[in-house]
Structure 1
């Protein structure tokens, strides 16, 4: 019994650390991007997309990390049936929005690099209205296709014949009929496959662009490039890193989830590892922007300077 409690505490600390780190990183970026959008200072077209991405990341972590932490620590069930429906629905929607937003970010950067796009089209894709509209469609799409979650997810149950969704210890889902399961699987596979295909296609284009760009630079024999070319190359590399992280973590998470669903009595630690892996992208992706975007350090450096200067100004008065 002591060993079981010890294991639960270890998993609880692990989930708590991951959840706290993810929320802190995404919230820091959310403050920065919202401040930039509100003040319109050095606003970039991708800021609107990144703002949506970190918001979706936060929802994924909050809706899964906190319940998993409390479950690992052995706390009593705190979600009733309505709570399970709301929390799991938010998780599915936020997870889908993360996928579509990452795809949108990759596609946006690929369109900026494409030399065949005319000038008016380039201005159109840079328009905030166009980006807001695409972001709005992402939310509407996943709010609609995940509506079945509200019907099928139930609250805590002691019935061993229930097919657990393996997301929370507190929530469960009855075994779906073959027709309902098939239709749901087709809808999810189609939407996820569409976004995955677009993401792979745009990423391949950007890799090819970087390869040709490197060849041109070698032919020029000069390290002095236009600032815009340097910026676009750097932004492309950052997005490719982000897409690579998403594909790697999402593939591993999907593989583990499918493996768990095929096992009659899955091992508890395997379920916990699957939950940890599913939170890797929303937890670690903010680090890519924190260490690559110079505005992050400038923004928080300015906030820290203002905070430290405030006492000296008061004492001077």
Structure 2
């Protein structure tokens, strides 16, 4: 296996693991296991691992910490693979480094979360850093098959602007969703404080942004079809719309069924999938051609002179 192939697989593993960390983090919060390990970096005053006396809550919280360690090892492997890749590409090394540095950052924020008794704003920051790391690892994964030549836009000029606006609103929906979460139940512990905002009001604002996001995404899909954009771009925009609709349906049902745990967990996974679909849409509108060295370039066609009559 070449170093380039290894790096691509490790980058994909890092992306999946970052999404998995969000899911396990949701399990911690939704099972009231946020203080299953009541201190940090140790799980108890005497032990770095959970104990039998801490029960299932300790196991769930400690399991999330272990996944963080696994994620750090994958990130380290990505960085080493980027350094060893021939030829070495500075962009890949920097992306792998950024993904790696985010892991201890997650650990520190997770520790502050525990030490502040699950302050909802710190919990929200923990989630948003995961979204940033998903973006970085997605970029690393995609860049492993691209060159370092300047980007080339594949669609007319107004459409990338519309795509960037759609991505901005997608990010805003995620941020406001974090605020909604901080105002409702499922705090991670029965005694954890909430952010004090009115859940109904902030949920309505979140829903309004979701409607805007779906409208922009539909508009982008129709516009790409109208200008006969490349098929991958049209598919990526269509997939974004479908993922948004599914996520919106989950959000609608969970709100009117008083936030059952299973649907809240699905909604958090859905937030990751919406974000990945947004990134996929952005990537589908441009390309970075891979540089071909003269010795690897295809041979020039040979012209055969026409016979002389």
TM-score (norm 2): 0.38
Q: Please identify which structure carries the higher helix content.
A: 1
TM-score normalised by L of structure 1? 0.38
